[in-house]
Structures are given as C-alpha cells and as structure tokens.
Amino acid sequence: MTTGTAIRTVEVLVTSPDRNFVTLRLTTEDGVVGLGDATLNGRELSVASYLKDHVAPLLVGRDAHRIEDTWQYLYRGAYWRRGPVTMAAIAAVDVALWDIKAKIAGLPLYQLLGGASRTGALAYGHASGRDVPELFDSIRHHLDEGFRAIRVQTSVPGLDAVYGVAAQRTSTGARYDYEPAQRTVVPAEEDWDTRSYLRHVPGVFEAVRNEFGPELPLLHDGHHRMTPIQAAKLGKALEPYDLFWLEDCTPAENQEALRLVRRHTTTPLAIGEVFNTVWDYQTLVREQLIDYVRSAVTHTGGITALRKILDFAAQYQIKSGIHGPTDISPVGMAAALHLDLAIHNFGIQEYMQHGARTNEVFQQTFTFTDGLLHPGEQPGLGVTYDDAAADTYEYQPAYLPVNRLKDGTVHDW
Ligand code: EZ4
Ligand code: CO
C-alpha cells in the first residue's frame, strides 16, 4: 500500500435540510474524499452511532483501495450479520471507497463497474391524487417534467390518509407531500382497510389507461399490506391495465408466500426495498417469483453487495428497480445511477426528486433528460457535500407513520 491511499479521517455527518440524512465522509492521506449514504429513515441516529462508535476506529489507516476486503471485514468481522443498521453502515463505507477509487482513477464510477451499457437510466416518478382528476393532473405534471414511466397511488374512499398520496392531510394536520416521514416525536398514524383498497384500485387504473393510453408504463406500490391471496387477487384484477410492476404486494419476509401470488397472476412483481442481503432474495430469485429487485444501494451493503444480488438475479432474467425515494440521499442516488448505467439487467430507476435545500447541501452532477437519468462524467460519484449549508440544518426526530385497521389493530404501513 502506498501510504497516500490510507484512510486518514472518518467523519459521520448528520444534517436535516428537507429531511434527515446521515453521510459518511472518508478522506485519504492524499486528501481524496469519498462519500457514502447511511440514511435509514426513522432510525437515522442508530446508523450514525454504529459508524462513529464501531466502524470509524477500524477504518483509520486501512488502504482505501481494498473495497472487497473491507466489506468482508465489516460483514464477517461484526459476527452479528445482516440487519438494516449494520448493512446501511457497511453500504456507506463501501460507496465511499468506490467514490475514492474512481476519483483516484480519474473516472466516473460507472467506468469501474464495466462502463456504460445504455445512454441513461429510465426513471419513474410518483404521481398521486386524492381523486381521479387530481391524479390525472399529477400524471400530466410528471409527463411535463419529462417522466416516461409513472407510479400511480390514490386515496381510498373511507380512509383518511394512505401511503403515497401527496396533498392529503395527515393525522398531524401537515400536508403529506412526497415525504412520508414526518418531523414528530412519535409516529403519526394512518388507517387501513384492505377490502376497500382492493375494490377501489382496479377502477383507478382503468381510468388512467382510458385517459393516457396503452403505451405509458404504469407502476403501483402495495407497500406490504396484503396477504398472499389478496395480492393474487389484485394482481389478477390489474392484468387488463398491463402494469410495469406491482411492488411489495406482501411483506415477503416469508419468501414462499410469493409462490401463491405467482400462481395466480401475470402482473410483474417487484420486491425488496426493506431487504438488506442476498439471502432475502434467495427463494424469490431461484424460483423466479419476482421480476424486479427493489433494493437500494444504501440499505443492502453498498455497490459491492447490490452488484452481486443483481448478477444473481440476472441469471433468472430478473431486472433491477433500484429504490430511489427521498430518504435515499443524493449520494445513495448517485451510487444507484452508476450501477444502473453499468449493469446489463437494468429495469427501471425510481426517482422522487429531492428538494432545493437538499440539493444545496449535496451538489450533484446527474442529469435528467428525455426521461433518462445519467450520473454525469465527473470522477467518482459526482457528489460533493457542502458543510456550510449542511450545518444550518440540525437533526430533527422524524418517523414514518404507523398503520392501524379500523378496530385499532396495528397493520403493515
Ligand atoms: O415508503 O422510502 O417505493 N417506495 C417506497 C418509499 C418508502 C420509503 C420508506 O422510507 O415505498 O416511499
Ligand atoms: Co415501495
């Protein structure tokens, strides 16, 4: 090892521009800086502590070039494997090391992953509405912004506040917008009734297809709320509307549940935003029970680990659909875009768009043209962190909502 590539400093940066973000910053003896995203929505400080208290001391003096070895050292070395906190922490280290390696090479990161396999990554945006006219406006707005694929979420008659619907009033009285985490000291509560939802959703998709035609790729997120037989029923009911995918139709901790769903519907299935290792996908991929892998780079152990999951999936014609909500920081998004560009089995990239304050903290080089995202040509990830801007936004507790059925029973949110 040349001493110049040894890690000199390890900083864990917490900021809260439009929402909370945890960022890892590694600097080598030569002064090369690498960034990694460690944001775990609603549990941010646990990852910050994991990194500060248990990982930072192990990194100082290590050769920044040894990405695979460092990954294995942190994963196997912890003894306590997997879990969202551990894997987000490892992801942050991994992405920061890739950023450093690419900067030393003088290349945009995607070049180190095999180079570009396409001109850009097809992105989908989040359209939603409390009723059909509002939903149509939202779809038109996204099409005007350049989106060429659209996720569709709507309110459900009889329910007050439902995941994914902007402009609805939440239980705290705040506007929901596109950010589900709310800055409250305890989680807000939403309500749920699966039968009402199942009755309502197919008609919404029928209306959208009638208005926007057969070409536009449409997606929908079930957000883990259905049982396998309910999910099968919805998948079947949505077949006439030719969805690009139905996401998280069941909680999927029980991977075998997807066998039942698969048996009943040809609607393509996407799963995995809450997964954190390849083991969560083992049955789903080997038995071809899904069509898209939803993991984020940030929550799955970084580029090194997600690349391996996607290579495994590729053998079964399963494609990527990397998670890209606002709680993935611009650093995590950039990592996703470099992977999107390089891998062969790219499917689609979620793109929710960060707010102005976030973009001020994280200066970025990505572009969004004709519906395609591109990470840019700057060496590394193409993201720099503005300390002065970040320091003006202090951490604020924020939680994702909790869901309850009408009788008060806690349900998957
Ligand atoms: O609810 O990222 O597909 N996207 C999603 C997201 C998740 C949030 C949770 O932190 O399901 O909006
Ligand atoms: Co989702």
Are 100 and 380 in contact by the 8 Å Cβ rule? The answer is yes
pLDDT of residue 122: 98
* Topology, domain 3-112: Enolase-like; domain 1 (3.30.390)
Across residues 56-76, what is the average pLDDT? 98
CB atoms near residue 7 (< 10 Å): 24
Q: Note the ligand closest to the C-alpha atom of 176.
A: 1
Across residues 385-397, what is the average pLDDT? 97
DSSP type of residue 252: -
Q: Indicate the CATH number for domain 121-377.
A: 3.20.20.120
Structure tokens at 221: 């997120």
- Which of 50, 124, 163, 178 is catalytic? The answer is 163
Q: Which of 64-78, 88-102, 159-173, 261-275 has the lowest mean pLDDT?
A: 159-173
Those residues whose C-beta lies under 8 Å from the C-beta of residue 140, and which sit 6 or more positions away, are: none
Q: Cα(291)–Cα(92) distance, rounded to whole angstroms? A: 27
Across residues 73-92, what is the average pLDDT? 98
12 forms beta bridges with: 24
Task: Identify the residue whose C-alpha is closest to ligand 1 atom 8.
Answer: 325
Q: Is 124 a catalytic residue?
A: no
Those residues whose C-beta lies under 8 Å from the C-beta of residue 281, and which sit 6 or more positions away, are: 255, 272, 275, 290, 293, 309, 312, 313
Q: Does residue 133 have a pLDDT over 70?
A: yes
The Å distance, Cα 29 to ligand 2 centre, comes to 40
Q: Which residues line ligand 1 (CB under 6 A)?
A: 41, 180, 221, 223, 273, 325, 327, 350, 400
The Å distance, Cα 162 to ligand 1 centre, comes to 13
Across residues 11-15, what is the average pLDDT? 98
Q: Give 305-329 pLDDT, tens digit per residue.
A: 999 999 999 999 999 999 999 999 9
- Which of 142, 220, 223, 338 is catalytic? The answer is 223
Task: Identify the residue whose C-alpha is closest to ligand 1 atom 1.
Answer: 180
Instruction: Share the mean pLDDT of the chain.
Output: 96
Q: Read off φ and ψ for residue 197, nearest 5 degrees.
A: -60, -50
pLDDT of residue 241: 98
Q: Is 323 a catalytic residue?
A: no
Task: Identify the residue whose C-alpha is closest to ligand 1 atom 4.
Answer: 325
CA angle centred on 16, ends 374 and 221, rounded to 5°: 55
Q: Note the ligand closest to the C-alpha atom of 328.
A: 1
Domain ranges of the chain: 3-112, 121-377
For the question of whether the overall pTM of this predicted structure is more than 0.95, the answer is yes
Ligand 1 nearest-atom number relative to CA 247: 3
Q: Does residue 199 have a pLDDT over 80?
A: yes
Structure tokens at 116: 């570009």
DSSP per-residue letters across 24-51: EEEEETT--EEEEE---TT-HHHHHHII
CA distances from 117 to 7, 46, 346, 364 (A): 32, 37, 9, 22
Ligand 1 nearest-atom number relative to CA 248: 11
User: Which one of 37, 244, 250, 273 would you pick to mutate in the ligand 1 pocket, going by the greatest count of ligand atoms within 8 A of its CB?
Assistant: 273
pLDDT of residue 171: 60
Ligand 1 nearest-atom number relative to CA 42: 10
Residue 3 — pLDDT band, cuts 50, 70, 90? confident
pLDDT of residue 172: 63
The Å distance, Cα 221 to ligand 2 centre, comes to 5
pLDDT of residue 168: 77
Beta-strand pair 372-374/121-129? antiparallel
